[in-house]
Amino acid sequence: MSPTRAKLPFIAYPTTAHTVPEPLGLILVISSWNLPFGLSIEPVIGAVAAGNAVVIKPSELSPASSALLAKLIPIYLDPQAVKVVPGDAQVGQQLLDLKWDKILFTGSPKVGQIVMAAAAKHLTPVCLELGGKCPAVFDHLSSSWDKKTAVNRLLAAKFGSCAGQACIAVDYALVEKKHVSELVDLLKAKIKEMFGDNPRELNTVARIVNKHNFSRLRKLMGDPSVKSTIVHGGSFDEHNLFIEPTIMVDPPLESSLMTEEIFGPFLPIITLDKIEDSIEFIKARPRPLAIYAFTNDDKLKKRILSETSSGSVTFNDAIVQYIAETLPFGGVGESGFGRYHGKFTFEMFSHEKAVMSRGFLIDFWFRFPPWNDHKLNLFKVAYRLDVIGIVLTVLGLKKSKIN
């Protein structure tokens, strides 16, 4: 919150300047159902720290969590500063019809368009966290330890993160054709090790959030051309809203599975002639929220960083970037825009106001009209703090023409 001093050109002497963060005003946070507490509370922390008042609209798809937020927040926080407004999509639309000073929305691109359209009526700035299809580039790793570690991290980021119902979960994997069999065997073995012979009974894989999303995922797998590519899993339990961790190899790229964000426990593996082709594969698609690359090849790492665009890039792990408050979290392009986490949340909900102050004692005569080449040249060298140039110009020894 402290003012930050700013450097000024010599021509402004004697002047002081600094930037001061000020609150934007009234903030609307529309959170998602898959991380109902984190995606609601974390933005509020930064918004309140920046001096704003906040209204939280939690997702109606996680009603128990929404009810708990509505019950507890008024007990611990001033209701004049933070308020929870639970409700369905109609309540959300009523909130969007009001004027806000900033809106943070986490959810699907389809609803994100509705939020932006509503915000545009009041010229309200928005931050959209939309997700997307996050790829995992799986390069050949010579060390067996590296392979097993990478597979562990890949599986945890896919099936361990709310059964894949997370915007930063791995959506699909890219691997060279000659290494796909080895990868599939490792995945199968590690799935059994992590989730047991019967994952539903072990209760380590999350359920699908509701029947609507369960039906959506079943429809993705109902395509015969997709179903024929399953190499592991594929069972559904509608009564318990449970879907077994499922792996498929080379499903059709034009299928809904490969064109829509999966948001479920399906891991498609796409094979490539060489791992470098993964860069063009990623570039040919909407920019993802995150790219995960498991590789020890420094050249490939540099190419991924320089030739692709994404909200974040993580090498040799996945999802862990989300828990680092010193790193900004946010998307780019189709995966959203704006960033928060830690201090970045404070900055997102603040306006950095420029403040300049000077006295009346000193003025440089050459800053005022009428203009001539001599005055303008003095202004030029003074702005650059070119002391020698100032002396030479005043003495008439430097007469460069100003164009």
167 among known catalytic residues: yes
Q: How is residue 367 annotated by DSSP? A: G
280 among known catalytic residues: no
Residues 6+ apart with CB under 8 A from 361: 14
In 3-139, where do the E strands start and end?
Answer: 4-5, 15-23, 26-30, 53-57, 82-84, 102-106, 126-129, 134-138
Cα separation, 206 vs 244, in Å, equals: 10
Q: How far is CA 73 from CA 28, 42, 87, in A?
A: 15, 13, 16
Reference 314, options 38, 336, 323, 267; nearest CA is 323
Cα separation, 289 vs 133, in Å, equals: 8
The catalytic residue among 129, 176, 244, 261 is: 129
The catalytic residue among 162, 167, 244, 261 is: 167
Cβ pair 144, 150 in contact under 8 A: no
Q: How is residue 121 annotated by DSSP? A: T
Cβ pair 143, 149 in contact under 8 A: no
Strand partners, 135: 172
The identity of residue 126, as a single letter, is V
Cα separation, 69 vs 56, in Å, equals: 9
SS3 content of the chain, % helix, strand, coil (to 5): 40, 20, 40
- For strand 102-106 and strand 4-5, is the pairing parallel, antiparallel, or unpaired? unpaired
Residues 6+ apart with CB under 8 A from 334: 109, 130, 132, 286, 287
Cα separation, 343 vs 351, in Å, equals: 14
Instruction: Count CB neighbours of 162 within 10 A.
Output: 19
Residues annotated as catalytic are 129, 167
